[in-house]
Amino acid sequence: MSVAFAGNSTTGTSREAGPLRVMIVDDSVVIRGLISRWIGAEHDMEVAASLRTGLEAVNQLERINPDVAVLDIEMPELDGLSALPKLLAKKRDLVIIMASTLTRRNAEISFKALSLGAADYIPKPESTREASAADTFHHDLIQKIRHLGARLRRKSAVASPPLAPASPAPAPAARAPAVARPAAPAPAVHAPSSGAPSTRPFSTQAPKVLLIGSSTGGPQALMSLVTELGPVIDRFPVLITQHMPPTFTTILAEHLARSSRRPAAEAVDGEPVKPGRIYLAPGGKHMRVARSGADVAIALDDGPAVNFCKPAVDPLFTSAIDIWHGAILSVILTGMGSDGMRGGKDIVAAGGSVIAQDEASSVVWGMPGAAANAGICAAILPLNQIGAKVNRLFAGDRS
Q: Which residue in the list 79, 140, 214, 243 is annotated as catalytic?
A: 243
Q: Which residue in the list 67, 72, 314, 339 is annotated as catalytic?
A: 339
SS (H, E, C) the chain: CCCCCCCCCCCCCCCCCCCEEEEEECCCHHHHHHHHHHHHCCCCEEEEEEECCHHHHHHHHHHHCCCEEEEECCCCCCCHHHHHHHHHHHCCCCEEEEEEECCHHHHHHHHHHHHHCCCEEEEECCCCCCHHHHHHHHHHHHHHHHHHHHHHHHHHHHHCCCCCCCCCCCCCCCCHHHHCCCCCCCCHHHCCCCCCCCCCCCCCCCCCEEEEEECCCHHHHHHHHHCCCHHHHHHCCEEEEECCCCCHHHHHHHHHHHHHCCCEEECCCCCECCCCCEEECCCCCEEEEEEECCEEEEEEECCCCECCECCCHHHHHHHHHHHHCCCEEEEECCECCCCCHHHHHHHHHHCCEEEEECCCCCCCECHHHHHHHCCCCCEEECHHHHHHHHHHHHCCCCC
Known catalytic residue at 36: no
Q: Which residue in the list 100, 203, 215, 338 is annotated as catalytic?
A: 215
Known catalytic residue at 50: no
Known catalytic residue at 325: no
What residues act catalytically? 215, 243, 339
